[in-house]
Amino acid sequence: MGIPVRIGIPRALFYYSYYPFWETFFTELDAKVVASGRTNGKILQDGLNSSSNELCLPIKVLHGHIIDLKDRCEFVFLPYIISTQKGSYYCPKLIATPDIAKAVVPGLSLLSVDVDIENFYRSLYSSLKEIASKLRTNPVRIYAAYRMAMERQRIFEGYVHGGALFEDALSMTRGKRKPESAASCPPARDGPVIAVIGHTYLFNDAYISFDLIGKLRKRGARVVTSDALSAGLIDKTLSAPESRTHWSLGNRVIGAAVHFSRRKDVDGIIYITPFGCASDSLIKEYIDANPGRGKPMLVLTVDEHSGDAGVVTRIEAFLEMIARPAARAG
């Protein structure tokens, strides 16, 4: 057997949704998967240096992760994710990430696939065949690798929808952690329950989210996130057509806000959003227009200029506010 082809997967954007799938798929095809490091000051700075100011923070960070990987692997994997649900789409910046990355990181060897539910089998199958040829592997092996990857992703999503946070769910999926020891919330109800909603690639990245989840837990809160809600549950929550947008990620945020507002065990909601996010700029209006919205909600907008002290002040003020009986009654 020759030296395995190394494929880099940036720890950004869809890493937080589909890493178990792609890691399994490539490993089954005898490639070596290399993930970029956790976001840190250097990765962020490299991303900022290479990106236009017009881009949102998560895409700037993506570029830092690509730079971190570029010289450590033959290919960097970055899919064109257009749509994973009929009738809704990912935002144009997100769809175009492979093209933007090629333009801003010179000498990049990209491996891409198209993921488009409207054209699922044709687009995915032809992309996977192309991957097989780049990896110099027999295309016949693709189907078995795909099946294994789907199964691994199903297990991962089961943990996430059961309430585990990303890192816990990934460890459990890999068998590195026992499922029962990794519950994201302790069973005892001694602190407030805070729902953190927003884009998974923002609140699961401790560096760019200013460790929002860690800070809440340190202050005694139990945290649930919008990741725990399946696509089916979001759809059911937003059954009225006027309650939803064309954007998949926006719908997830609106659906999560409405769902957690209705839940009696949730005391407050923190909506974390990156400055410059085009789809998020509309979302708060949709949330407010949905009937039944009554829970205290903090909208926390972050960018590369935000400071840790400012985030701490806002979280502490919010926790103090919801500790008052009048707020809890709402």
- How near is the Cβ of 80 to ligand SF4 at its closest, in Å? 13
- How near is the Cβ of 252 to ligand SF4 at its closest, in Å? 10
Binding track, positions 15-54, relative to ligand SF4; x by CB under 6 A = ----------------------------------------
Q: Residue 197, interface with ligand SF4 (CB under 6 A)?
A: no
Considering beta carbons, is residue 249 or 311 the nearer one to ligand SF4? Answer: 249
118 by Cβ neighbours in 10 Å (0-12 / 13-18 / 19+) ranks as exposed
Interface residue with ligand SF4, options 56, 169, 229, 300 (CB under 6 A) = 56
Q: Residue 249, interface with ligand SF4 (CB under 6 A)?
A: yes
Interface residue with ligand SF4, options 100, 213, 277, 283 (CB under 6 A) = 277
Considering beta carbons, is residue 91 or 319 the nearer one to ligand SF4? Answer: 91
Q: What is the maximum alpha-carbon separation in the chain?
A: 67
- How near is the Cβ of 195 to ligand SF4 at its closest, in Å? 19
Among 318, 319, 314, 257, CA closest to 284? 257
Considering beta carbons, is residue 193 or 283 the nearer one to ligand SF4? Answer: 283
Interface residue with ligand SF4, options 278, 289, 312, 317 (CB under 6 A) = 278
Stretch that binds ligand SF4, among 88-96, 104-112, 209-217, 290-298 (CB under 6 A): 88-96
Q: Which residue has the tokens 């009986």?
A: 325
Considering beta carbons, is residue 144 or 278 the nearer one to ligand SF4? Answer: 278
Stretch that binds ligand SF4, among 66-74, 151-159, 167-175, 275-283 (CB under 6 A): 275-283
Interface residue with ligand SF4, options 114, 116, 227, 280 (CB under 6 A) = 280
280 phi and psi, to 5 degrees?
-65, -20
Considering beta carbons, is residue 130 or 304 the nearer one to ligand SF4? Answer: 304
Q: Residue 93, interface with ligand SF4 (CB under 6 A)?
A: yes
Considering beta carbons, is residue 184 or 273 the nearer one to ligand SF4? Answer: 273
**HEC profile of the chain:** CCCCCEEEECCCCCHHHHHHHHHHHHHHCCCEEEECCCCCHHHHHHHHHHCCCCCCHHHHHHHHHHHHHHCCCCEEECCEEEECECCEECCHHHHCHHHHHHHHCCCCCEECCEEEHHHHHHHHHHHHHHHHHHCCCCCHHHHHHHHHHHHHHHHHHHHHHCCCCHHHHHHHHCCCCCHHHHCCCCCCCCCCEEEEEECHHHHCCCCCCCCHHHHHHHCCCEEEEHHHCCHHHHHHHCCCHHHCCCEHHHHHHHHHHHHHHHCCCCCEEEEEEECCCCCHHHHHHHHHHCCCCCCCEEEEEECCCCCHHHHHHHHHHHHHHHHCHHHHHC
- How near is the Cβ of 105 to ligand SF4 at its closest, in Å? 17
Q: Residue 227, interface with ligand SF4 (CB under 6 A)?
A: no
Q: Residue 91, interface with ligand SF4 (CB under 6 A)?
A: yes
- How near is the Cβ of 81 to ligand SF4 at its closest, in Å? 10
Residue numbers at the binding site for ligand SF4 (CB under 6 A): 56, 58-59, 91, 93-94, 199, 249, 274, 277-280
